[in-house]
Structure 1
């Protein structure tokens, strides 16, 4: 069911924001050119966590881009299970889900908006609204900065929000309930919406549903931020795959989906006119000869800012997998498996300059820093492992 209130704000300010602007431009340049272009030398690192242990909310550290040194994380916002974060692409704003089953007196989680001080890295709460379903698992902001999107794992729903001129979130503009199930007797008895992202043009929105074994497709109304099913409305995954998270190639028409249950990555070609997805490859995330154990599952997936490499995390096996991307075909070739030096790498982040990857080991309470080889994509541990309770989402904002 889709509900669309008519009184939601749609205004969007366009103040320059160094966190996205400088970082994204620098990512496409070689190191020497970055220095000439005045690229940032430090990044704020914001980390979303689970708060059923020692963590208390959203944390911030500083990453030195010359040395890879990471400062001790500091609490910048007290919140319940802010497990996933998203930065606005051009304004100093951060959005965070609260992965819970209740908000106020309703059986739903919530999503919050924060104003970000680019220099100090502090957060100021703006507002908090319903996530449109139980157990939100993912939040993103459209590339044009006009809307926020939330996937509710427990509720099997996705929701869209207009972002106001002041950065606040509207009440849900659309709440869509997924339909479907698949072959896994415990994990796929109903829909479990696990992530939601808009394509680079902010025309189409895709939602990976682990329970339904589908990637759903929607059109996004540029004026109201409402979601309507695209034609076709979904692409079916191989039964038992369990689509989890997604990443777009920055230039080529490809969408990469990491499958939690099958421990694979599916490569889809996107049709720009219809939004339709066509699978061109499926490749495993585990090393050759390692069986898909019941205790294993995948988690995060990201494309390097250069568009040359793709990274994914394997929980249980506790490793990061690295692939090279053929930009002409979208296809992947294995480069490396690298241990995360901890347990359960649920999330990780690649800094916008493409030099470092920070992996959050949820069950060993560590954030580990890896250096990225810009030519090969290979990961090398820097030797830094920072203590932090149950880290998950990792996002970066440039320090002006």
Structure 2
């Protein structure tokens, strides 16, 4: 794997002494998970060491102590692609001085591809979402911080269609399984989406409630995040390119959509399939960010080239009285398909990850935009300024996840 840099200004060479040691960024290419130092002041990433998982990295989540990282991996293709046979959760310790990862014990096996992983609030349990078939499972975290045995649930639970994320509410009382469903086609009816909400205690899920406007039709939720201090939840609706806000109160999620916002800068000018993606609330609670993704291609001169669309981060200002998200900026990520992004814990940077290279037309020529990372500075007004991008040669693999952990 090679790392090249480009953007509005070429980044200076950064020594270990110059790099910030307070934040570590981890990004994968296939089964390789690479650690980068984050220089927030210089808006730079400095490549360090790489660890290798049993299969392709799907998602990762830090322990509440920020001393361990749980990584889900799988040899299955994404979506409904070819099923593999290797599916695991692996624990790594995080060196508090350097951010380096060291494997902690042996991985545990999983039944199918894990699409998302998180822990409950105190990190006593690991929650894993599976997309095909849609499922959620809970695993104990052992005293040595390794993943342990599965928690047997008291009764069968409804896990919807195509789970994409699982999160515990900040009070640790509820678990929400985000199930996207599937878009319809001329030959297949739409599969409804839903937010599956469970009461949660000590790893046990009970009393499932399904939040599915219009029976889940034209409702394809993908990803959610919580406001840090207010009882507000923000959900990206992938298949309809919307950002919904829900209220939380008295131990339940209100099923009514409190506010709806567009994700696209030009919602009436969709040139190819658009898909709303990751959503993260700024740690100060004043802004929420969402990803817009497009990657469809069309043939040109015997090659498949980008068909057009919005690959951007949309910034919303949050009304501090009502929680309403109001779009204030759409900024292109300078690459194709920002599958994930993360906000630097110091609140100064946002980094977006793009999983594959894509050919683009430039007049009569065809150029390739590589996979990689785009770095943005976050202003006091919440708006983003593009700083630089890092091109990453992924070969025949996929860059599927990245995230940052404070040290």
- When normalised by structure 2's length, the TM-score is 0.77
Aligned counterparts of 1:371 and 1:97: Cα–Cα separation in 2: 29
Structure 1 counterpart SS, 2:258: strand
Mark the CA change 1:244 to 1:275 in structure 2 (over 3 Å): closer, same or farther.
Answer: same
Within the candidate set 326, 340, 347, 1:347 is matched to 340
Deviates more, 1:300-309 or 1:136-145: 136-145
Q: 2:66, 2:405 within 8 Å by CA — same for their partners in 1?
A: no
Q: 1:349, 1:393 within 8 Å by CA — same for their partners in 2?
A: no
Aligned counterparts of 1:179 and 1:220: Cα–Cα separation in 2: 15
Q: 1:42, 1:65 within 8 Å by CA — same for their partners in 2?
A: no
1:249 matched to 2:227? The reply is yes
Mark the CA change 1:165 to 1:121 in structure 2 (over 3 Å): closer, same or farther.
Answer: same
Higher strand share: 2
CA offset digits 1:254-286 (Å, max 9, x no partner): 111111111111111112323444310121110
Deviates more, 1:381-390 or 1:313-322: 381-390
Map 1:61-100; keep pairs closer than 5 Å: 61-72=36-47, 74-100=49-75
Within the candidate set 329, 338, 341, 2:331 is matched to 338
Aligned counterparts of 1:61 and 1:386: Cα–Cα separation in 2: 14
Within the candidate set 181, 193, 196, 2:163 is matched to 193
Aligned counterparts of 1:201 and 1:43: Cα–Cα separation in 2: 26
Within the candidate set 189, 192, 195, 1:215 is matched to 195
1:369 matched to 2:375? The reply is yes
**Aligned equivalent of 1:129:** 108
Structure 1 counterpart SS, 2:374: strand
Q: 2:243, 2:263 within 8 Å by CA — same for their partners in 1?
A: yes
Larger Rg: 2
Within the candidate set 2, 11, 26, 1:46 is matched to 26
Q: 2:159, 2:179 within 8 Å by CA — same for their partners in 1?
A: no
Within the candidate set 261, 283, 287, 2:265 is matched to 287
**Aligned equivalent of 1:394:** 402
Q: 1:264, 1:285 within 8 Å by CA — same for their partners in 2?
A: yes
Deviates more, 1:349-358 or 1:112-121: 112-121
Count of aligned residue pairs for this structure pair: 337
Map 1:305-324; keep pairs closer than 5 Å: 305-316=283-294, 317-324=310-317
Task: After TM superposition, give the deviation of residue 165 of structure 1 in Å.
Answer: 1.5
CA offset digits 1:333-375 (Å, max 9, x no partner): 011111111111000110112110000011231111100012x
- When normalised by structure 1's length, the TM-score is 0.78
Structure 2 counterpart SS, 1:312: strand
Mark the CA change 1:368 to 1:174 in structure 2 (over 3 Å): closer, same or farther.
Answer: farther
Q: 2:34, 2:47 within 8 Å by CA — same for their partners in 1?
A: no
Aligned counterparts of 1:179 and 1:91: Cα–Cα separation in 2: 29
Deviates more, 1:205-214 or 1:112-121: 112-121
Structure 2 counterpart SS, 1:391: coil
Aligned counterparts of 2:176 and 2:288: Cα–Cα separation in 1: 19
Structure 2 counterpart SS, 1:328: coil
Cα RMSD (Å): 2.3
Task: After TM superposition, give the deviation of residue 193 of structure 1 in Å.
Answer: 0.6
Task: After TM superposition, give the deviation of residue 85 of structure 1 in Å.
Answer: 1.0
Deviates more, 1:197-206 or 1:74-83: 74-83
1:382 matched to 2:387? The reply is yes
Structure 2 counterpart SS, 1:250: coil
Q: 2:245, 2:260 within 8 Å by CA — same for their partners in 1?
A: yes
Aligned counterparts of 1:171 and 1:292: Cα–Cα separation in 2: 46
Aligned counterparts of 1:193 and 1:174: Cα–Cα separation in 2: 19
Q: 1:346, 1:362 within 8 Å by CA — same for their partners in 2?
A: yes
Structure 2 counterpart SS, 1:330: coil
**Aligned equivalent of 2:136:** 158
